[in-house]
């Protein structure tokens, strides 16, 4: 038998075929066993088994190595564990939240009108969503006294889900004792922990948010996700924050939300009574929104690395973006920009715009205050965070499409409905957040694809912003569409006699009885006019300026008394230079679904009604 060196075996391959091939190469170096190339032979069987075993071992080793790193781990508990190493706790499920006003009609307690009424944590409500009933609860207790005999709870926050409590006994003999909550869909922001001592006293402990603020007496608890996907509460060791005493009873109360988030639900009824009173009137202030599933592993991977980069401090714009995902977990979209990029520049400030959910564009005042307070603990001393409302740039879409009636059984109006639905879907798919771009060609493609008989479309776009003037005060205004949304102005004086590219809704000005509107002269001047029949009578040819290249309208000081719009607003509609539009800073692009204009027409060439293009009509591509 010739000598075979084991070092000649190539051990770097991991696939079954490569390993088997390497073993056969190795066996070529000897003459005792010659049948390794015949698949039926015993030695071939052993080679296959060895290759299989090596392949499985290599795969396992590869998988184990992958699970050791945040970038490559695939099993949730390992991703969570890797994130924990760098101090990141994945966010739990977030309950959808609605705000209501609740008036109790003629309440009686013990046959008499009470002096006050209290709604306790856990008070139950319900809503119907997609034909199913979903529970809602109140998390923060509220007590009111009657105002002019009216018992009215204002701005009650209702959270989707049901309350649950787990009770544990603290055993000081067990090290690292952890208390796993019995439900998976816990909203960890709703957790309250009460520690009752054997002597009878009970105290509420708070969640530790920053380890730098705790000492050995701090009554705080911590929360983390365990390897079974359940959240668990644990306490300090008496050195880093206080430790409960042996035998103390731990009561953990929390909200368990549902897998289905009832986004947009706005009709609520009360399930419980208030001291026996059930005659209530509920007015919904904001529809339910903000519901979110437990953070997925891809999100953890992304957020944990950003969290580590920011080190729980708010310095750069990216720090704010990543931390705000933790501070406001339900956010649909977040936009942050430095004061130096603001217009006008505001040094020493950082601007933040948050779109809370698909259905809600603005945060409430209390949410803004809460967020600002949380950020102030983390940001630089000299930088002030400013939370601003999202501005909406409405996109007014007009589309004229041609279709082949021989390729469909649908009527024109049915096709128009389909096209309208395609535009709405495009809006919700592409234009839901900040930093979004409206791409005209993508919309045109979506319209063409709405139905197979649609042959082409001519879609035009206008942009609209809404301004709420301060009524009864002389004041200047700026209406900004952004540098990315230049106005159409091919030459100086473009459409001067037709009103330029701007149109507005009407308003009344102090000292005049006529209803005024605004347009431009194509030379950069804003003009104020009234209508005499259909003729424009200009009252002021320099009522402000129009900056076509920066997409900005400036209105000189003007005292507006009222507006034609019933909601005291003025609409500014412009023709953009490009049909592609971009959302900048706090702006959100939104196709105004109520103003979508869709017209379908038979393609006379495709249908055979026209030959040689005679009599064929097409739509204008200019707004």
Partner 1 sequence: MASYNNTKSSQSSITARKWYTDMDLNITPHPSSGDLVLKFDKDAVKRSVRNIMLTNNYERPFKPNFGANLRGLLFELADDMTKYEIRKQIMEALEMLEPRVRIQNIYLSSVRNSMHISLHYGVVGSKEPQTLEVILQRVR
> Site residues (CB under 8 A) for partner 1?
16-17, 32-35, 37-43, 45-46, 48-49, 51-52, 55
Is the Cβ of residue 47 or residue 461 nearer to partner 1 in the bound state? 47
User: Going by C-beta distance under 8 Å and a sequence separation of 6 or more, which residues neighbour residue 174?
Assistant: none
- The least CB distance from residue 14 to partner 1, in Å, is 13
Cα–Cα dist 512/528, whole Å: 12
DSSP for 294-342, written as a single string: PPPHHHHHHHHHHHHHHTT-B-SHHHHHHHHHHHSTT-SEEEEEEGGGS
Which residue, 33 or 86, has its beta carbon nearer to partner 1? 33
> 34 or 216, CB closer to partner 1?
34
Shortest gap between Cβ of 58 and partner 1 (angstroms)?
A: 13
The least distance separating partner 1 from the CB of residue 75, rounded to whole angstroms, comes to 25
Q: Among 503, 502, 504, which Cα is nearest to 489's?
A: 502
The least CB distance from residue 36 to partner 1, in Å, is 9
CA atoms within 13 A on the CB side of 226: 15
Show Cβ contacts of residue 559 under 8 Å, excluding neighbours closer than 6 positions. Answer: 472, 473, 474, 475, 509, 510, 511
Cβ-based nearer residue to partner 1, 46 or 380: 46
- At closest approach, how far in Å is the CB of 12 from partner 1? 19
State the burial class of residue 404 (Cβ atoms within 10 Å of its Cβ: 0-12, 13-18, 19+).
middle
Give 241's contacts (C-beta < 8 A, 6+ positions apart). Answer: 208, 214, 215, 216, 218, 219, 220, 235
H or E element at residue 63: helix 42-67
Shortest distance in whole angstroms from residue 66 CB to partner 1? 22
Nearer to partner 1, 4 or 230 (CB): 4
Report whether 158 contacts 98 (CB < 8 A): yes
Contacts of 230 (CB under 8 A, 6+ apart): 180, 181, 182, 183, 184
Supply the DSSP symbol for 140. Answer: S
With tokens 């300090």, the residue in question is 236
* Residue 25 Cβ vs partner 1, minimum distance, rounded to whole Å: 13
Enumerate residues 6+ apart whose C-beta is below 8 A from 9.
22, 23, 25, 26
Q: Which of 416, 389, 484, 456 has its CA nearest to residue 605?
A: 456
Q: How far is the CB of 162 from partner 1 (least distance, A)?
A: 50
Nearer to partner 1 among residue 27 and residue 270 (C-beta): 27
- How far apart are CB 34 and partner 1 at their closest, in Å? 5
């Amino acid at each position: 038998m010739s000598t075979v060196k084991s070092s000649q075996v190539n051990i770097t391959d991991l696939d079954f075929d490569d390993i088997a091939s390497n073993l056969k190469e190795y066996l070529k170096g000897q003459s005792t066993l010659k049948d390794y190339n015949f698949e039926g032979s015993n030695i071939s069987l052993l080679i296959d088994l060895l290759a299989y075993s090596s392949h499985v071992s290599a795969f396992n080793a590869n998988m184990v190595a992958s699970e050791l790193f945040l970038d490559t781990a695939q099993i949730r508990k390992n991703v969570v564990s890797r994130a924990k190493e760098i101090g990141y706790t994945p966010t739990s499920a977030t309950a959808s939240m609605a705000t209501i006003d609740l008036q109790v009609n003629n309440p009686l307690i013990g046959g008499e009108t009470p002096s006050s009424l209290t709604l306790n944590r856990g008070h139950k409500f319900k809503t119907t969503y997609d034909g199913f009933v979903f529970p809602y609860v109140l998390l923060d207790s509220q007590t009111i006294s009657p105002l002019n005999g009216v018992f009215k709870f204002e701005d009650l926050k209702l959270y989707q889900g049901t309350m649950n409590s787990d009770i544990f006994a603290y055993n000081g003999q067990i090290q690292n004792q952890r208390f796993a909550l019995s439900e998976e869909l816990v909203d960890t922001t709703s957790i309250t922990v009460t520690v009752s001592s054997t002597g009878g006293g009970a105290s509420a402990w708070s969640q530790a948010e920053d380890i730098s603020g705790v000492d050995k007496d701090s009554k705080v608890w911590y929360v983390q996700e365990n390897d079974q996907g359940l959240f668990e509460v644990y306490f300090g060791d008496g050195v880093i924050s206080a430790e409960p005493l042996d035998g103390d009873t731990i009561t953990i109360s929390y909200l368990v939300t549902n897998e289905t988030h009832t986004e947009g639900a706005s009709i609520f009824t009360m399930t419980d009574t208030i001291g026996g009173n059930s005659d209530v009137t509920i007015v919904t202030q904001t529809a339910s929104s903000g519901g979110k599933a437990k953070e997925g592993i891809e999100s953890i991977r992304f957020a944990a690395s950003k969290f580590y980069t920011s080190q729980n401090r708010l310095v750069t714009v990216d720090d704010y973006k990543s931390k705000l995902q933790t501070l406001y977990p339900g956010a649909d979209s977040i936009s942050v920009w430095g004061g130096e990029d603001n217009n006008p520049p505001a040094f020493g400030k950082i601007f933040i715009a948050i779109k809370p959910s698909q259905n809600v564009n603005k945060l409430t005042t209390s949410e803004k205050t809460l967020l600002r307070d949380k950020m102030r603990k983390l940001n630089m001393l000299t930088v002030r965070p400013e939370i601003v409302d999202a501005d909406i740039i409405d996109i007014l879409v007009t589309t004229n499409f041609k279709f082949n009636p021989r390729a469909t059984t649908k009527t024109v109006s049915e096709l128009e409905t389909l096209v309208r639905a395609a535009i709405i879907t495009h809006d919700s798919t592409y234009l839901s957040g900040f930093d979004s771009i409206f791409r005209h060609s993508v919309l045109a493609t979506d319209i063409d694809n709405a139905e197979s008989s649609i042959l082409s479309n001519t879609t035009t776009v206008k942009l609209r912003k809404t301004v709420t003037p301060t009524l009864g005060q002389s004041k200047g205004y700026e209406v900004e569409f952004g540098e990315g949304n230049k106005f159409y102005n091919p030459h100086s004086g473009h459409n001067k006699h037709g009103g330029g590219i701007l149109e507005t809704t009407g308003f009344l000005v102090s000292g005049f009885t006529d209803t005024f509107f605004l347009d431009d002269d194509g030379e950069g001047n804003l003009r104020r006019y009234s209508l005499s029949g259909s003729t424009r009578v200009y009252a002021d040819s320099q009522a402000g300026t129009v900056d076509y290249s920066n997409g900005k309208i400036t209105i000189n000081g003007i005292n507006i008394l009222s507006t034609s719009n019933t909601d005291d607003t003025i609409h500014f509609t412009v023709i953009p230079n490009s049909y592609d539009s971009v959302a900048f800073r706090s702006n959100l692009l939104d196709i105004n679904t109520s103003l979508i204009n869709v017209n379908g027409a038979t393609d006379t060439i495709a249908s055979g009604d026209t030959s040689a293009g005679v009599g064929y009509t097409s739509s204008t591509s200019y707004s």
